[in-house]
Amino acid sequence: MSILIKGGTVIGPTGAQPADVLVDGETIVAIFAPGKGPEGPGPEVIDATGKYVIPGAVDAHTHMELPFGGTHASDTFDTGTRAAAIGGTTTIIDFAVQRTGEVVQDGLAAWHGKAGGNCHIDYAFHMILGGVDDDALKAMDQLVASEGITSFKLFMAYPGVFYSDDGQILRAMQKARENGAMIMMHAENGPAIDVLVKQALERGETDPIYHGLTRPQELEAEATSRAIWLASVAADCPLYIVHLSASKALEQVKAARDLGRNVFAETCPQYLYLTLEDQLGAPGFEGAKWVCSTPLRSKHESHRADLWQGLRTNDLSVVSTDHCPFCMKDQKELGLGDFSKIPNGIGSVEHRVDLLYQGVVDGKLSLARWVETIATTPARMFGLYPKKGIIAPGSDADIVLYDPNGRTRISVETHHMNMDHSAWEGWEIAGKVDTVMSRGEVIASGGEYTGRKGRGKYVPRALSEYLV
């Protein structure tokens, strides 16, 4: 069946252009000057007048069902990908987990087991290595060669859970340099943070805000810098810093990029908008909703302005959500009386497209840059391009019609994520996702979901196409 999306303005990384888009089956087959597409009986027509026509967004950082802190992230692949779809995201890259002592391939098989048959949109995986040894290094080759997994996340934080020491990190980077993979880094100095956490708890500082105060930006900047230099020793192994939140960490990335290094970073909507004082410091235990790592930063420093600027200058290349939702009841509440026991994570997979469009309205991002940071660059960065991330002949027909005149009000009453609260409760922002198409099928329209569980497919990834 063919569909003609008519009368809209197509937005891509090079700008905006009025054009009609012809879809045949699961694929975009042609782009026409307005009104120049096939006439008469033929394709079904979707009227996109007054709408932006953008590539389905790619969220390169989600954690569906992640086991963490004695519980699991509250969205399953079913609930999480459905919410993502309604919000205009048509591909996620989730993190399969190898826990310390586990066989890498077993961790991957477990993730295929969770996701298979449950996703509403297409999905891919990164692999978390919970410890680097000879077996894990061999597994990296196998995953790159045969499993479509070309990026590996390591942790400089969470000693005893996911932590890798510098020697392990260097070995994984050397391996990645050989096989072409990307190393993704959770860059916070975990052992130093653990000292500060212990000292805070000994002083009786137990409220959620101390989660942020015991993870100062210096320890994010130091780890970011260390990761960058370790990657340099590994012959410029491609390095991607996840969830960058702090100005001083951004400075490290910027300096490396100015040297022409293959160093990249993402940030997340929470760091662009929310703060240590206003959210994490909310009265009582309320701040637990915003406990995530890296933490929200102080509004009295220039983090948010610096991150927006980093997005403009491409020192920050991608905006992902780090979607890792936990309910307050029975989950976040595990940390009542001890902030260090609050499960870390915020759920935003449904809202990223809208939250970043607000940046366009506020004059902080161009339309082209909006699409680039939420769709095109993540697809290029992680080997999904040009199948995903662009409106072009031959690409998957993952398309969002976006209404720039609509408004989105965010609330736990109306969101589709499996959470008993929203980190964005009451926010009313410009723009609205109107229609979402995934591989040629309309799966959401006017806020109504029309897709189905299990239609999403696993997408094996190629190597990054974003290296310098």
**Shortest Cβ distance from residue 93 to Zn ion (Å)?**
11
Pairing state between β 151-155 and 122-129: parallel
Q: Pattern 372-411, binding to Zn ion, x per CB under 5 A?
A: ----------------------------------------
Q: Dig out the tokens for 395 from the structure.
A: 């690409």
Q: Which stretch in 3-11, 67-75, 307-315, 316-324 sits in contact with Zn ion by CB under 5 A?
A: 316-324
Which single residue brings its beta carbon nearest to Zn ion?
Answer: 186
Identify which range of 2-10, 104-112, 233-241, 314-322 contacts Zn ion by CB under 5 A: 314-322
Q: How far is the CB of 193 from Zn ion (least distance, A)?
A: 13
Q: How near is the Cβ of 61 to Zn ion at its closest, in Å?
A: 6
Residue 250 or 397: the one with the smaller Cβ distance to Zn ion is 250
State the nearest-atom distance from the C-beta of 396 to Zn ion, in Å: 25
By CB under 5 A, is residue 421 in contact with Zn ion?
no
Q: Which is nearer to Zn ion, 186 or 211 (CB)?
A: 186
| Residue 147 or 322 with smaller CB distance to Zn ion | 322
Q: Shortest approach of Zn ion to residue 130 CB, angstroms?
A: 13
CB of 154 to Zn ion, least distance (A): 10
Kindly tell me the burial class for residue 35, based on how many C-beta atoms sit within 10 Å of its own C-beta (0-12, 13-18, 19 or more).
Answer: exposed
Q: Which is nearer to Zn ion, 31 or 156 (CB)?
A: 156
Task: Considering the complex, state which of residue 222 and residue 434 has its C-beta at the smaller distance from Zn ion.
Answer: 222
- Under the criterion CB under 5 A, does residue 222 sit at the interface with Zn ion? no
Contact 238, 262 (CB under 8 A): yes
To the nearest whole angstrom, how small is the minimum distance from the Cβ of residue 338 to Zn ion?
A: 21
Using the rule CB under 5 A, give the single segment among 10-18, 319-327, 364-372, 396-404 that binds Zn ion.
Answer: 319-327
Per-position x/- string for 53-92, each x denoting binding to Zn ion as judged by CB under 5 A, each - no binding: ----------------------------------------
For residue 322, state whether it binds Zn ion (rule: CB under 5 A).
yes
* Residue 190 vs 440, nearer CB to Zn ion: 190
Q: CB of 132: closest distance to Zn ion in angstroms?
A: 17
Our CB check for Zn ion shows the closer of 48 and 423 to be: 423
**Comparison of 190 and 359: residue with beta carbon closer to Zn ion:** 190
- Buried-exposed string 209-242: b where 16+ CB fall within 10 A, e elsewhere: bbbbbbbbbebbbbbbbbbbebbbebebbbbbbb
Residues 148-207 interacting with Zn ion (rule: CB under 5 A): 186
**Shortest Cβ 322–Zn ion spacing (Å):** 4
Query: Residue 59 or 322: which CB sits closer to Zn ion?
Result: 322
Q: How far is the CB of 405 from Zn ion (least distance, A)?
A: 34
Place of tokens 């100062």: 216
Total site size for Zn ion, rule CB under 5 A: 2
Indicate the residue among 55 and 325 with the shorter CB distance to Zn ion.
325
Binding positions for Zn ion, rule: CB under 5 A: 186, 322
